[in-house]
Amino acid sequence: MPWLPPNISTFGKDVDSLFYLVLAATMIAFVLTEAALFVFLARYRHREGRKAAYVHGHRNLEVTWTVGAGVLWAGLALIQVGTWWNIKGSFPPEDSSVLFELTARQFEWQARYPGPDRAFGAVDSTLISSGNPLGLVSNDAAGKDDIVGPINTVHVPVNQNILVFLRSRAQDYKEVIHSFFVPQLRLKQDAVPGLTIKVWFNAMQSGTYEIACAELCGLGHYRMRAMLTVEAQDQFNAWLQKTNAGQ
Amino acid sequence: MSAHAPATNHHELPFIRKYVFSTDHKTIGVQFLFTTLIYLSIGGLLAMLIRTQMAWPWQEIPVFGALLYGPGGNVLLPEQYIGLVTMHGTIMIFFFIIPMLSGAFGNFLIPLMIGARDMAFPRLNLLSYWILWPAFIMILLALVIEGGPPSAGWTSYAPLSDLPTAVPGSGNGQTLWILSLLFIGAGSILGAMNYITTILLLRAPGMHLFRMPMTVWALLITASLVLLATPVLTSALILLTLDRTVGTHFFLPIGGGVPILWQHLFWFYSHPAVYIMILPAMGMTSDILSAFARKPLFGYKAMVFSIMGIAGLGFIVWGHHMFVSGMNPLLGTSFMVATMVIALPSSIKTFNWLATLWRGNIQFTTAMLNAIAFVSMFIIGGLSGVYGAATPVDMFIHDTYFVVGHLHYVLFGGSLFGVFAGIYYWFPKMFGRMLDERLGKLHFVPTFIAFNCVFFPMFILGTNGMMRRIADPYVYDMFKPLLGINQFMTYSAYVLGAAQLIFAINIIYSLMRGPKAAANPWQANTLEWVAASSPPLRHGNFETIPTVYRGPYEYSSPEVEEDWYPQNRPPAMPERVTPEPVIVPQPGGD
């Protein structure tokens, strides 16, 4: 039976152990309650001439299970906080991370790398056209060395902190919410028109993985798929150069 | 007409005022019952089409395809698929579950269970049903209108729902969606005001709040949720309409608007609405479990306070739908803690249901089987919600089939089995005839098995990362191995759908041929069983208003020989003057 896809991200193992922790807690609760249900149904089925127990409650029993369940659920919440904060609330330093911007639009993804100056050129949604799908401002100095990747293709180096600036293109009115999802990275983040949302990951294993759109975005939602290639630093550099030369 | 009938019954009403534009709560309840059952079958058929696409994407649908999509067009299009998903969710939630629980059961049961002749405002009650008709018509119109049905999901996230060009169906279809929800919301609010007033003011003598059956408690608290939450949805719908028609930008970034605002407003309504969709079923299940275990409900007051706790906390957990929306992660943390805490009252209720069965004398009627199914399936539904509450885990399962599985275990495994239990239990009171028990069990067993075969595999799809609302999962290489599971689920869905025909046959057959029901066929305690089956129309219900002497769950009381002790029966030990001291057994209830 297929199960959780293999994890390739540094924080993925924390996510997986929390998943298995929740699985263990809920499985124990499930087995105990359902077993009690079946035992009671079998043991106390109707028999002629017998009367049920006349019991309205049991204070100590009720206090015990209230406190027990309360401790279980509150504990299960608190134990999540560290991992959550590590993934969504704190970021690796920008100057030592690999940066790229990922723009989602109906129904494709496009990456842009900042080049040697580590700064992205300005974009202006009024400039968006079929020849300039990102709306790049051509005379912006910071944008001179930017490298725009091919559609639905993202490359990142292995074992490096990656900072993604996630955007949903806001061409006048006409863009909707998408969601960046790579199951093997254990990472999902909506791309919202009007916002640039920062996410980070560090992929530990080279290979090619599928990027999916996880938020309903229109009739082509199901085919809004891109490929993420995780590769060695020199391969990544070579790919960037080749892409730059092709522009 | 019987000689004891109340004075109001003197002249016979014309047919149209008796059965169509009736002000009698029982007639209105039955109208809600049949209308929502029709929408249940429409929503179910849409689900069959969704499942067909998941198993055999883009393949011709024999016979039905031509019927649905016209000759030659019997292959589904991507925009039709998301239209199906949107309409299935919208119809099941807004046109079946909510009006079935609050509308059908609320109307029929509240006055009978509290010992009143009718609702506090009978004409308002008539309005709360008939104001839904524009919605009933418009939502069906949305299926066939030019441009197609609304396709932004039942959650209709902006800007997808906001931009008429964003998706086919976000033109006319979306407009009809908004309008029909406005009417549904108006009807809910009118009904809720009526329920609250009725329960607070029209209880029979002796019916203290803490002698009310759990069904009434649940409906009272549900009505308060409706009253507090629905206006927020209504405002959001009006803002969306303004965006779409007069050019405001509440949810569009270009004019300074915020798309996430829609999600906040929508879930501020729709999370409490999740409890609107389950609390009444919890109440009904509590009553049915106690009646057929022949045993007092365990921890009655804890049950009442749990429902209050769920309702209160229900207003501060909406953000758990938005953990990956771009909302501040600090907010995510606080919404996670609140969400985990709301699992506590649900756990308490589950323990109390189990303890109600403990040392009972359990009668396995069809109503009881469905109530037991409610408990066991709600356990799975509730526990699977914990995964979504845990923020790091939610980041993986959010928008996958794991969530679809979770919500179906709550709303089908919980609410729908609760509705089945309620129908099998109160049908004799509604129509004066018994449902067939053999057909009932023949309906229950395949429904229960097929339900689990359809929805449990969804958890496996979800742990594989398979997203919801995608017309063709097999575009992704990683989801190709899931085809077999999907086909198994689809076959099971057909069995599940077919099993419902037995239910329909049972209802139709029993309405005409079922054995006549006695006033109290289940030997239950609550006041509705004091009234005749079915109770006289025109605000009659009771020959004389009963007086209540005790709580609703005095089963197997040592005070009486029988194992039930109706709420209205005068105490078994009258105030005889006895010279020797008598040890009075501890009275139960409050």
Mean pLDDT of A67-94: 94
Averaged confidence pLDDT in chain A: 94
User: Which band of pLDDT confidence, cut at 50, 70 and 90, is reported for residue B539?
Assistant: low
The predicted-structure confidence for B206-226, as pLDDT tens digits, reads as follows 999 999 999 999 999 999 999
Mean pLDDT of B19-41: 95
Q: Which residues contact A91 (CB under 8 A, 6 or more apart)?
A: A163, A198, A200
The strand pairing partners of A100, in sequence order, are A164
How many angstroms separate the CA atoms of B504 and A42, rounded? 30
The predicted-structure confidence for B48-68, as pLDDT tens digits, reads as follows 999 999 999 988 877 666 666
Task: Using CB atoms, pick whichever of B329, B351, B362 lies closest to residue A65.
Answer: B351
Tell me if A26 and B396 make a contact (CB, 8 A cut-off): no
User: Which band of pLDDT confidence, cut at 50, 70 and 90, is reported for residue A173?
Assistant: low
Contact B476, A213 (CB under 8 A): no
Tell me if B259 and A177 make a contact (CB, 8 A cut-off): yes
Mean pLDDT of B233-253: 94
Tell me, what DSSP letter sits at residue A161?
-
Residue of A nearest to B467 (CA): A214
How many angstroms separate the CA atoms of A216 and B461, rounded? 18
Contact A124, A137 (CB under 8 A): yes
Query: Residue B136's pLDDT is what?
Result: 96
Query: Residue A94's pLDDT is what?
Result: 93
User: Which band of pLDDT confidence, cut at 50, 70 and 90, is reported for residue B573?
Assistant: low
Tell me if B391 and A54 make a contact (CB, 8 A cut-off): no
What are the φ/ψ torsions at residue B318 (nearest 5 degrees)?
-60, -25
Looking up tokens 């999962």, which residue turns up?
B473
Mean pLDDT of B259-284: 96
pLDDT at residue B577 greater than cutoff 70: no
Reported as half-sphere exposure (CB side, CA atoms, 13 A), residue A22 has a value of 27
Would you say how long chain A is, in residues? 247
Q: What percent of chain B has pLDDT over 70?
A: 93
Tell me if A192 and B300 make a contact (CB, 8 A cut-off): no
Task: Enter the ipTM.
Answer: 0.96
The predicted-structure confidence for B294-329, as pLDDT tens digits, reads as follows 999 999 999 999 999 999 999 999 999 999 999 999
Tell me if B296 and A44 make a contact (CB, 8 A cut-off): no
Between A49 and A172, whose confidence is greater?
A49
Query: Residue B306's pLDDT is what?
Result: 97
Query: Residue A130's pLDDT is what?
Result: 85
Per-residue tokens: B253: 């970034």
Query: Residue B72's pLDDT is what?
Result: 57
Q: Which residues contact A35 (CB under 8 A, 6 or more apart)?
A: none
Query: Residue B589's pLDDT is what?
Result: 41
Tell me if B348 and A188 make a contact (CB, 8 A cut-off): no
User: Which band of pLDDT confidence, cut at 50, 70 and 90, is reported for residue A246?
Assistant: confident
How many angstroms separate the CA atoms of A163 and A155, rounded? 13
Q: What is the DSSP string of B365-418?
A: -HHHHHHHHHHHHHHHHHHHHHHHHSHHHHHHHTTBHHHHHHHHHHIIIIIIHH
Chain A CB contacts of B379 below 8 Å: 29-30, 33-34
**Model pTM above 0.90:** yes
CA distance B89 to chain A (A): 14
Query: Residue B540's pLDDT is what?
Result: 83
Query: Residue A41's pLDDT is what?
Result: 97
The β-bridge relationship of strands A147-148 and A98-105 is unpaired
Query: Residue B575's pLDDT is what?
Result: 53
CA distance A245 to chain B (A): 30
Tell me, what DSSP letter sits at residue B61?
-
The predicted-structure confidence for B497-528, as pLDDT tens digits, reads as follows 999 999 999 999 999 999 999 999 999 999 99
Residue to mutate among B88, B395, B477, B525, with most A CBs inside 10 A, is B395
Sign (positive or negative) of CA dihedral B137, B139, B143, B144:
positive
pLDDT at residue B33 greater than cutoff 50: yes
Query: Residue B1's pLDDT is what?
Result: 35
Tell me if A29 and B159 make a contact (CB, 8 A cut-off): no
CA distance B308 to chain A (A): 15
Mean pLDDT of A198-222: 97
User: Which band of pLDDT confidence, cut at 50, 70 and 90, is reported for residue A229?
Assistant: very high
CA distance B399 to chain A (A): 6
Query: Residue B538's pLDDT is what?
Result: 66
How buried is A42 (Cβ within 10 angstroms: 0-12 exposed, 13-18 middle, 19+ buried)?
A: exposed
Chain B CB contacts of A44 below 8 Å: 293, 357-362
Mean pLDDT of B92-116: 97
Averaged confidence pLDDT in chain B: 92
Query: Residue B590's pLDDT is what?
Result: 43
Q: In whole angstroms, how far apart are CA A182 and each of A209, B135, B252, B352, B469?
A: 7, 40, 27, 42, 17
Between B78 and B112, whose confidence is greater?
B112
pLDDT at residue B175 greater than cutoff 80: yes
How many angstroms separate the CA atoms of B215 and B429, rounded? 15
User: Which band of pLDDT confidence, cut at 50, 70 and 90, is reported for residue B446?
Assistant: very high
Mean pLDDT of A27-42: 97
User: Which band of pLDDT confidence, cut at 50, 70 and 90, is reported for residue B7?
Assistant: very low
Mean pLDDT of A95-111: 95
Looking up tokens 């595999």, which residue turns up?
B457
Chain B CB contacts of A55 below 8 Å: 295-296, 298, 359
How many angstroms separate the CA atoms of B335 and A40, rounded? 36
Q: How many CB pairs under 8 A join A and B?
A: 294
Tell me if A65 and B347 make a contact (CB, 8 A cut-off): yes
How many angstroms separate the CA atoms of B158 and B257, rounded? 11
Cis bond upstream, residue B335 (ω within 30): no
User: Which band of pLDDT confidence, cut at 50, 70 and 90, is reported for residue B529?
Assistant: very high
pLDDT at residue B2 greater than cutoff 50: no
Query: Residue B71's pLDDT is what?
Result: 58
Residue to mutate among B58, B347, B479, with most A CBs inside 10 A, is B347
Residue of B nearest to A106 (CA): B166
User: Which band of pLDDT confidence, cut at 50, 70 and 90, is reported for residue A171?
Assistant: low
Task: Using CB atoms, pick whichever of B78, B152, B392 lies closest to residue A80.
Answer: B392
Query: Residue B498's pLDDT is what?
Result: 97
CA distance B158 to chain A (A): 7
pLDDT at residue B588 greater than cutoff 50: no
